[in-house]
Amino acid sequence: MSIKTAQTLVSEAMEEIKTITSDEAFKIYQENNCNLIDIRDSNELAVSGAVEESINIPRGLLEFQFDPNGPLIQNGIIDTNKETILFCAAGGRSALATKALKEMGYKKVSHIAGGFSALQNSKFKIKK
């Protein structure tokens, strides 16, 4: 058995998940039809800012925070009837995270190609 590289895992995930552009994400966001989830770590947010109205859930906590019995789901902070759109800095972690949520049974889940880098050059508002 050979050990897979991180890039192999990302490539495999990309074949199974839905990837959208920052413009597509903005359209869904404007329609108030998504949970916009930033999976970057808090130190990344401190350095580069955050997308207004996004929810920060660091990648390491994602599956725990998306537990159907957890407070974010139970209290309606995350609406499972809406599209869940994930992003990280460049798109690798969010691809893996999107695959993980699909494996948990979430159907309406996608990630943004290019991650936060793409969002900085989009219609989304960034707060420092």
Q: How far apart are CA 20 and CA 22, in angstroms?
A: 7
Cβ count near 87 (within 10 Å): 31
Q: Is 40 a domain residue?
A: yes
Q: Is 41 a domain residue?
A: yes
* Rg of the chain in Å (alpha carbons): 14
CB-based contacts of 118, cutoff 8 Å, min separation 6: 21, 22, 91, 112
Q: Is 17 a domain residue?
A: yes
Task: Work out the percent of the chain whose per-residue pLDDT is above 90.
Answer: 98
Which CATH number fits the domain that encloses residue 21? 3.40.250.10
Structure tokens at 102: 């699909």
**pTM across the whole model:** 0.94
Which residues span the domain enclosing 27? 6-127
CB of 101 closer than 8 Å to CB of 1: no
What is the distance, to the nearest Å, from the Cα of residue 86 to the centroid of all Cα atoms in its chain?
Answer: 1
Q: Is 12 a domain residue?
A: yes
What's the chain's average pLDDT? 96
The confidence band for 1, taking pLDDT boundaries of 50, 70 and 90, is: confident
The confidence band for 111, taking pLDDT boundaries of 50, 70 and 90, is: very high
| 115 backbone φψ class: left, alpha, beta (φ>0; ψ -120 to 50) | left
CB of 56 closer than 8 Å to CB of 42: yes
Q: How far apart are CA 11 and CA 69, in angstroms?
A: 31
- pLDDT tens-digit profile of 45-91? 999 999 999 999 999 999 999 999 999 999 999 999 999 999 999 99
Q: Is 123 a domain residue?
A: yes
Q: How many independent structural domains does the chain possess?
A: 1
Q: Is 1 a domain residue?
A: no
The confidence band for 35, taking pLDDT boundaries of 50, 70 and 90, is: very high
